[in-house]
């Protein structure tokens, strides 16, 4: 290997040395106007991006133009790659030495802040996981906004809750201790099954010494008192590793991280990962895209930050009646003020993502268009907020220096060129007329052609060479070019610089003076522009906390005004949040997603009330709308807990601690789990963690196994949930279960109308029991051949004509002992000799029976 390295060119040796330090990344190695990739990087990237693969000194190579690199970087990030940017830092005067190069930027999916690489409506969290004997902790941060959170999980249910948290947070990248990953099969199976970039880090990232150093440097030595964190707490290690990694990747200060927020599970409604998927909260199950999800159906936000906040609301419903009512009051505020709602939404629609711009300011990544965005947003929103200072109440402790912001906004508007997109581009950064000093320099530059033209005419008159011309190139600068036929007319003060086939190129002292003046003016223009631009950056840094705070106000205003707009548009009602344990009452309820894909008024409204029993057993044929009915109930409860109006004419919703939804299942091949195992795992989580104050939706439990096993499991689950007392909607095709004792519960079915051999699904939930599943009818609708349908009908009549519901068992008998008591009483009554007993004996017998019954 050493011998192979000795045979490499100096440039390739330099490449190999840098690549050794970044083996897990694609190395973009700057060579002139290109970023080149070599060896395995080149082979992989050429395949992924469809680039031409060539060779250099026998090494595979491919490259991209540096000015178009961001397009290629984004594509690689989307494919889950990390990219290290290696730039030429210095070129020594001695041409024998190669340029010094070093990695100046590392891009990973969760550590980029440039607009070109981000999805504006999605958060960009990176998560760090650490476990010790005390429990499991996750720390997660969004470098684009400065949000930093910690969560702790008890050991006994850490992995299940970790999976739930990952689905709620949706990190772009997860960091984990390598020893922890390789030694724990359960964790490895979980993390490997997720569509998230996984980075395994060595132990020194998670050491106490390293964590303490990183956190105290970032947040000051008062970290533990400021954020109520014990220095031996598990989250200290995950947080320290997270900060260290982000710093290494971004290679800059992280001033946007000003504090740590502890996420308390008690403040939020519990949502399992299966519930998030089953209810299709942020993506649909068929394609995994956002279309036809709850979020896409209710999202009427007009800003990127508002869209991100709404998504966070949906994935983290509140479990705090006071805070829910506060949110509802804000929605109600706009709902009752149509004109103000419109005015706010119009203003917000032309504002920019100040939260992310504030983060870029902290990292010194700001560009001219960000300054314009700040100016326009401040100009629009300052007048809006000035008219209604109530908006500042949206963010606790809001202090915005509007005086400085407005002054800054006006100056930016005068100074910064709106056409300038990049400080290294060809466009002017600073507008004409803003600086007298800059205007003077630009006048010299703009008149340079006139000066050169005047001098050229002077030379023509003096020498008589009419076809002499003035030109410029990078080697000799400005020159005078004379054709061969006129070389005899060249005066002695002309200095020869280049010989051509058809003539010669010359310099003169005066031409050098003109060139020096123009060159100096161009250089001064850049210096003056840079000085003015930096002065704006300094002013922006001074008010960055106000910019960040204004960004948060924008987000809240957008979410609440958009939920109000949604309520008007879709005819939603404000829900009443009742005490825990109260009944759930929904009148004329609709599914918030499905109804938007139907014609106006086509959706069949349904009501639900738990006053008739907290457990509801729902039967009905396939395609009758059972699953939609179940999901709409769950979604309405969830919407109310994010502070939204709901699709119903009336909604009384008890404060709900946990929402479980087990609807449908499919194989989890990544974890080696069958459909039935997935179903039972989800069911087990519900039975373990649901409380009386939970809402539980269960659709066709037991269908993934044999009829006997499935029905038995369904029976046992019904019995358990009935005794628990949680509001439960349980749908089943096991119609036999409806014959069981229904005391304290209600039987619902989806209404069907049969006419002339055909079946019409009315999609209306009513009290009662389904007569049939109408499976054969559905098969007919699906196009199953007529002969197969007839055989199925014949088989059904022959084998299941006398198939009846269960009647010999009661779900609601307290226990077997009491059942035996009832048998004894029946025997006593049967054996009592009425004809030969006195009135007194009969009375004593009744008293004995009464005692046994109480």
Give the chain's mean pLDDT. Answer: 87
In this predicted structure, which of 19-28, 150-159, 408-417, 806-815 has the lowest mean pLDDT? 806-815
Q: Does residue 176 surpass a pLDDT of 80?
A: yes
3-state secondary structure 649-707: CEEEEECCCEEEEECCCCCEHHHCECHHHHHHHHHHHHHHHCCCCCEEEEECCCCCCCH
- First and final CA of the chain: distance in angstroms? 90
User: What kind of fold does domain 321-417+543-569 have according to CATH?
Assistant: MutS, DNA mismatch repair protein; Chain A, domain 3 (1.10.1420)
Considering only CA atoms, which of 310, 388, 309 is closest in space to residue 347? Answer: 388
Q: Please tell me which of 52-66, 656-670, 768-782, 800-814 the model is most confident about, judged by mean pLDDT.
A: 52-66
| 42: its two tokens | 């080149």
Q: What are the phi and psi torsion angles at 255 (to 5°)?
A: -65, -15
Confidence of residue 543 (pLDDT cuts 50, 70, 90): very high
Residue 380: CB partners within 8 Å, gap ≥ 6?
347, 350, 351
Which is higher by pLDDT, 749 or 352?
A: 352
pLDDT of 193 > 80? The answer is yes
The residues, any chain, with a CB within 8 Å of residue 848's CB and separated by 6 or more, are: 828
**How many angstroms separate the Cα of 8 from the Cα of each of 5, 11, 18, 86, 93?**
5, 8, 14, 19, 23
Edge to edge, the sheet with strand 147-153 lists 197-201, 173-177, 125-132, 135-142, 147-153, 261-262
Q: Residue 3: what pLDDT?
A: 43
Helix pair angle (185-192, 158-169), 10° resolution: 20
Pick the range with the lowest mean pLDDT from 181-185, 319-323, 364-368, 422-426: 422-426
Task: Using CB atoms within 10 Å of the CB of residue 609, give its burial: 0 to 12 exposed, 13 to 18 middle, 19+ buried.
Answer: middle
Name the pLDDT band for 810 (thresholds 50, 70, 90): very low
Q: How many residues does the chain have?
A: 854
What's residue 59's pLDDT? 85
Strands (E), 72-164: 83-90, 100-107, 125-132, 135-142, 147-153
Q: What is the pLDDT of residue 801?
A: 61
Which of the four pLDDT bands, split at 50, 70 and 90, describes residue 674? Answer: low
- Asked whether the predicted pLDDT for residue 656 surpasses 90, the reply is yes
pLDDT > 70 in the chain, percent = 89
DSSP calls for 733-788: S-GGGGGS--TTEEEEEEEEEEETTEEEEEEEEEES--S---HHHHHHHTT--HHH
d(CA 248, CA 438): 39
Torsion-angle region of 837 (φ positive above 0: left; ψ -120 to 50: alpha; else: beta): beta
CA atoms of 456 and 468, how far apart (whole Å): 8
Let me know if the fold of 321-417+543-569 is the same as that of 436-534. yes
Measured CA distances, 659 to 275, 726, 757 (Å): 7, 10, 41
- pLDDT of res. 386: 86
- Percent residues over pLDDT 90 in the chain: 55
Would you state the pLDDT for residue 8? Answer: 78
For strands 745-755 and 758-767, give the pairing: antiparallel
Q: Which residue has the higher pLDDT, 351 or 793?
A: 351
DSSP code of residue 582: P
Question: Any idea which fold 576-800 has?
Answer: Rossmann fold (3.40.50)
Q: So what's the pLDDT on residue 384?
A: 92
- What is the arithmetic mean of pLDDT over 749-756? 73
Residues 194-198 have a mean pLDDT of 91
pLDDT digits (tens, 9 = 90+) for 203-219: 999 998 898 889 888 88
Q: How confident is the model at residue 70 (pLDDT cuts 50, 70, 90)?
A: very high
Give the model's pLDDT for residue 335: 97
- Exposed / middle / buried, residue 256 (Cβ in 10 Å: 0-12, 13-18, 19+): buried
Fold of 120-263: Nucleotidyltransferase; domain 5 (3.30.420)
pLDDT given for residue 820 in this prediction: 53
φ/ψ of residue 471, rounded to 5: -140, 180
Going from N- to C-terminal start, the domains of the chain cover 2-107, 120-263, 321-417+543-569, 436-534, 576-800, 816-853
The whole-number pLDDT of residue 158 equals 76
**701-719: average pLDDT:** 81
**The 3-state secondary structure of 171-194, one letter per residue:** CCEEEEEHHHHHHCHHHHHHHHCC
Class of domain 436-534: mainly alpha
Instruction: Report the alpha-carbon angle 431-432-435, nearest 5.
Output: 95
Cross-strand partners of 261:
149
Q: Is the pLDDT of residue 505 over 50?
A: yes
Is the Cβ–Cβ distance between 386 and 406 less than 8 Å?
no
CATH of 2-107, one of 3.30.420.40, 3.40.1170.10, 3.40.640.10, 3.40.50.300: 3.40.1170.10
When pLDDT is cut at 50, 70 and 90, the band that residue 673 belongs to is low
The three-class DSSP label of residue 259 is coil
Mean pLDDT confidence for 555-576: 98
Q: What's the Cα-to-Cα distance from 164 to each of 159, 161, 274, 671, 791, rounded to whole Å? A: 9, 5, 8, 16, 46
Q: Which pLDDT score, from 0 to 100, does residue 409 have?
A: 95
User: Considering only 5-19, 98-112, 279-293, 467-481, which range has the smallest mean pLDDT?
Assistant: 5-19
d(CA 824, CA 103): 87
């Amino acid at each position: 290997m050493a011998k192979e390295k000795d045979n490499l060119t100096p440039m390739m040796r330099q490449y190999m040395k840098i690549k050794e330090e970044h083996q897990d990344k694609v190395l973009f190695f700057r060579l002139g106007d290109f970023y080149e990739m070599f060896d395995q990087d080149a082979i992989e990237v050429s395949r992924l991006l469809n680039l031409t693969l060539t060779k250099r000194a026998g090494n595979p190579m491919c490259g991209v133009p540096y000015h178009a690199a961001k397009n290629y970087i984004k594509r690689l990030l989307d494919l889950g790659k990390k990219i290290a940017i290696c730039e030429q830092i210095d070129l020594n005067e001695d041409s024998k030495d190669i340029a010094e190069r070093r990695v100046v930027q590392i891009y990973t999916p969760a550590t980029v802040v440039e607009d070109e690489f981000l999805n504006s409506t999605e958060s960009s969290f990176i998560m760090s996981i650490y476990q010790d004997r005390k429990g499991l902790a996750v720390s997660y941060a969004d470098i684009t906004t400065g949000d930093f959170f910690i969560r702790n999980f008890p050991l006994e249910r850490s992995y299940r809750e970790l999976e739930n948290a990952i689905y709620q947070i949706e990190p772009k990248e997860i960091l984990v201790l390598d020893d922890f990953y390789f030694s724990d099969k359960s964790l490895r199976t979980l993390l490997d099954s997720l569509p998230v970039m996984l980075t395994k880090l060595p132990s020194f990232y998670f050491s106490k010494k390293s964590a303490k150093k990183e956190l105290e440097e970032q947040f000051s030595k008062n970290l533990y008192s400021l954020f109520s964190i014990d220095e031996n707490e598990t989250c200290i290690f995950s947080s320290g590793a997270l900060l260290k990694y982000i710093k290494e990747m971004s290679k800059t200060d992280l001033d946007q991280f000003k504090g740590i927020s502890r996420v308390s599970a008690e403040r939020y409604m519990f949502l399992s990962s299966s519930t998030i998927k089953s209810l299709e909260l942020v993506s649909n199950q068929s394609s995994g895209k956002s279309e036809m999800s709850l979020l896409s159906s209710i999202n009427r936000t007009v800003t990127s930050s508002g869209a991100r906040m709404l998504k966070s609301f949906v994935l983290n419903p509140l479990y705090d009646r006071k805070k829910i009512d506060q949110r509802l009051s804000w929605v109600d505020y706009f709902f009752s003020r149509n004109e103000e709602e419109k005015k706010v939404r119009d203003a917000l629609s032309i504002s920019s993502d100040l939260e992310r711009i504030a983060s870029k300011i902290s990292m010194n990544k700001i560009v001219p268009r960000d300054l314009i965005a700040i100016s326009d947003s401040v100009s629009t929103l300052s007048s809006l907020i000035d008219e209604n200072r109530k908006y500042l109440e949206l963010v606790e402790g809001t202090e915005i220096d509007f005086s400085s912001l407005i002054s800054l906004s006006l100056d930016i508007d005068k100074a910064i060129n709106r056409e300038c997109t990049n400080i290294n581009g060809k466009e002017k950064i600073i507008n004409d007329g803003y600086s007298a000093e800059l205007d003077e320099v630009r006048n010299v530059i703009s008149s340079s052609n006139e000066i050169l033209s005047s001098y050229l005419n002077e030379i023509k008159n003096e020498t008589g060479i009419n076809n002499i011309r003035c030109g410029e190139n990078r080697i000799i600068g400005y020159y005078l070019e004379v054709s061969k036929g006129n070389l005899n007319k060249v005066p002695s003060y002309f200095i020869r610089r280049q010989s051509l086939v058809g003539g010669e190129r010359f310099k003169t002292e005066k031409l050098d003076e003109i060139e020096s003046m123009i060159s100096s003016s161009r250089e001064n223009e850049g210096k003056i522009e840079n000085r003015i631009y930096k002065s704006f950056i300094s002013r922006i840094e001074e008010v960055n906390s106000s910019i960040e705070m204004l960004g948060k106000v924008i987000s809240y205003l957008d979410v609440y005004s958009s939920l109000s707009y949604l309520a008007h548009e879709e005819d939603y009602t404000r829900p009443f949040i009742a005490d825990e344990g109260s009944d759930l009452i929904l009148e004329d309820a609709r599914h918030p997603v499905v109804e938007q894909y139907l014609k106006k008024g086509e959706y069949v409204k349904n009501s639900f009330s738990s006053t008739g029993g907290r457990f509801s057993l729902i039967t009905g044929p396939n395609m009758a709308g059972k699953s939609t009915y179940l999901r709409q109930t769950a979604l309405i409860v969830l919407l109310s807990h994010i502070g939204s109006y709901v699709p119903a004419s009336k909604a009384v919703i008890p404060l709900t601690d946990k929402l479980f939804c087990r609807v449908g299942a499919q194989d989890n091949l990544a974890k080696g789990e069958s459909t039935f195992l997935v179903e039972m795992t989800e069911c087990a989580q519900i039975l373990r963690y649901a409380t009386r104050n939970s809402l539980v939706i269960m659709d066709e439990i037991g269908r993934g196994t044999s009829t006997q096993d499935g029905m038995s499991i369904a029976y046992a689950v019904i019995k358990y949930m009935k005794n628990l007392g949680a509001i439960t909607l349980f749908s089943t095709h096991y119609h036999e279960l409806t014959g069981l004792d229904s005391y304290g519960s209600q039987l619902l079915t989806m209404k069907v109308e049969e006419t002339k051999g055909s079946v019409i699904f009315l999609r209306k939930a009513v009290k009662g029991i389904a007569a049939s599943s109408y499976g054969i009818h559905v098969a007919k609708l699906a196009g199953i051949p007529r002969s197969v349908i007839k055989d199925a009908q014949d088989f059904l009549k022959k084998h299941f004509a006398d198939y009846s519901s269960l009647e010999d068992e009661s779900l609601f008998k307290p226990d077997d002992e009491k059942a035996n008591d009832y048998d004894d009483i029946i025997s006593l009554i049967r054996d009592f000799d009425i004809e030969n007993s006195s009135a007194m004996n009969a009375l004593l017998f009744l008293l004995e029976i009464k005692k046994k019954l109480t």
